[in-house]
Amino acid sequence: MKRYIKSSLEKVYWELYKPSLRNYRFSGQIDPIRGQLFGDVQKIAPYDDADYAWAKVNGNGLIEFIKDGKIVDKMQTHAYEEEDYEDVNEYFNDIIESVAEELKKINQSIKPRMMYD
């Protein structure tokens, strides 16, 4: 007998609406049933050729901040609790905002490098 497990993952691009974090976006997959994120958070910087740090979001709640191919910091997120949030999307937004805030701190010393070719 074969058992089939149906996936509840859906691909998303999550843009933040907080004015100080509008340049950051999550792209990846979410699992609303288990309250898990898989993907990355990056700074959106068109026409900017600087090497900014980015964050890899693992489904187990571990977030790794990567700069120049090396892990420079890690963050462990809390698990989704129904009584803490109105819905799972509010939880996802909270996690992504926390990651973007940390990336903003890591990237603050990087100077933009504009290419005009």
Domain segments of the chain as ranges: 10-107
Q: Which residues of the chain have pLDDT under 70?
A: 1-8, 117
Collapse the DSSP code of 42 into the 3-class scheme (helix H, G, I; strand E, B; otherwise coil) and give the result.
Answer: strand
Residue 35 is predicted with a pLDDT of 79
Report the DSSP beta bridge partners of residue 54: 66
| pTM of the predicted structure, to 2 decimals | 0.83
Residue with tokens 């939880």: 91
Model pLDDT, residue 59: 81
Predicted pLDDT at 4: 47
